[in-house]
């Protein structure tokens, strides 16, 4: 899909200085190390999606959250991202940000389930995933106390593991196959040994590969990496990151056969390694526990 086809698909939009072709290239970052837009990062982080600049800030919060509601069936046509140049990713937590250049990939392909009907809207998926993630986490560690640590938009607290679109304006009525269908969820995870955090990112898998692969040399903070197969044939990448300031991150990336991509991370600091704060001896969830959570059948965009 080139820019003209993309413009024809979404209709007339307000004038923008954003290079749409470059923006759509976010599909190449589907398996990036760490999205910098963690909801607890200090205000001022900005993301650009599709038709304009979706500026947003994310700060930590102590309050509870609101439940994401449902919306009418989607009326928009699912759009796949267009091919473009490789993107870069910035691992969080390191004292000096590392820039990882992802290798060129084949053209993006919508997940197979996108060709069928009866797809959820993003809002419907967010409400369902909020309940599914909480259940999967409790099954692995019933002793962990989950509390809210995210606000989005600024001033709107999100509940622990409440899924939401990390962009303004939100597009709650689009299909889960739309390029704007990325969903985030975060929580502080309290344990007897100290507080850590837990974060989710769920989106359609427009690219079949998990990146960066274990032989990637531009990830100096990554101390462990393994590519494994999940219980139902899922592609799974497990990673451990050690940062100079003493934080440690366990991360799991999962691509399900139905075309759902998940990234789940857990750090030994209550909000994010980028914001400092006291650290626990270890992240609250092991790699094995994160794999079990990520391969839970309920955590899918295509139930």
- pLDDT at 68 exceeding the cut of 70: no
Please give the Cα distance from 126 to 120 (Å, whole number). Answer: 10
Inside any domain, residue 303: no
Give the total number of structural domains in the chain.
Answer: 1
Instruction: Please indicate, yes or no, if residue 168 is contained in any of the structural domains.
Output: yes
Kindly state whether residue 300 falls inside one of the protein's structural domains.
Answer: no
Report the mean per-residue pLDDT for the chain.
Answer: 74
The mean-pLDDT minimum among 41-55, 144-158, 210-224, 257-271 falls in 41-55
Q: CA of 157: how far to CAs of 41, 70, 202, in Å?
A: 14, 18, 20
Instruction: Please report which helix (H) or strand (E) contains residue 91, including its range.
Output: none
Task: Domain of residue 287: give its range.
Answer: 3-82+90-294
Question: Average pLDDT for residues 75-102, to the nearest whole number?
Answer: 34
User: Could you tell me the pTM of the whole model?
Assistant: 0.68
pLDDT for 73 beyond 50: no
174 close to 180: Cβ distance less than 8 angstroms = yes
In a domain, 103, yes or no: yes
Query: Which of the given ranges, 10-14, 208-212, 289-293, has the highest pLDDT on average?
Result: 289-293
Asked, for residue 301, whether it belongs to a domain, the answer is no
Residue 66: what pLDDT? Answer: 28
């Amino acid at each position: 899909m080139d820019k003209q086809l993309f413009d024809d698909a979404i209709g007339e939009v307000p004038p923008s200085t954003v290079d749409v072709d470059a923006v759509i290239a976010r599909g190449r970052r589907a398996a990036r190390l760490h999205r910098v837009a963690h909801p607890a990062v200090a205000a001022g982080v900005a993301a650009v999606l599709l038709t304009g600049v979706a500026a947003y800030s994310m700060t930590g919060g102590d309050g509870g959250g609101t439940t994401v509601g449902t919306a009418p069936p989607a009326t928009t046509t699912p759009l796949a991202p267009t091919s473009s140049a490789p993107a870069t990713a910035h691992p969080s937590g390191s004292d000096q940000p590392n820039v990882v250049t992802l290798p060129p990939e084949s053209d993006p392909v919508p997940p197979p389930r996108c060709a069928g009907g009866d797809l959820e809207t993003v809002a419907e998926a967010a409400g369902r995933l909020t309940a599914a993630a909480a259940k999967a986490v409790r099954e692995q560690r019933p002793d962990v106390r989950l509390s809210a640590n995210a606000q989005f938009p600024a001033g709107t607290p999100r509940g622990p593991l409440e899924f939401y679109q990390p962009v303004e304006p939100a597009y709650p009525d689009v299909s889960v196959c739309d390029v704007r269908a990325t969903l985030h969820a975060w929580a502080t995870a309290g344990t007897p040994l100290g507080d850590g955090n837990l974060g989710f990112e769920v989106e359609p898998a427009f690219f079949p590969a998990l990146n960066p692969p274990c032989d990637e040399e531009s990830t100096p903070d990554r101390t462990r990496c393994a590519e494994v197969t999940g219980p139902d044939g899922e592609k799974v990448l497990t990673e451990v990151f050690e940062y100079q300031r003493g934080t440690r991150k366990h991360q799991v990336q999962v691509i399900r056969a139905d075309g759902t991509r998940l990234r789940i991370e857990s750090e030994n600091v209550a909000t994010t390694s980028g914001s400092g704060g006291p650290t626990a001896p270890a992240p609250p969830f092991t790699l094995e526990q994160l794999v079990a959570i990520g391969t839970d059948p309920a955590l899918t965009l295509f139930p």
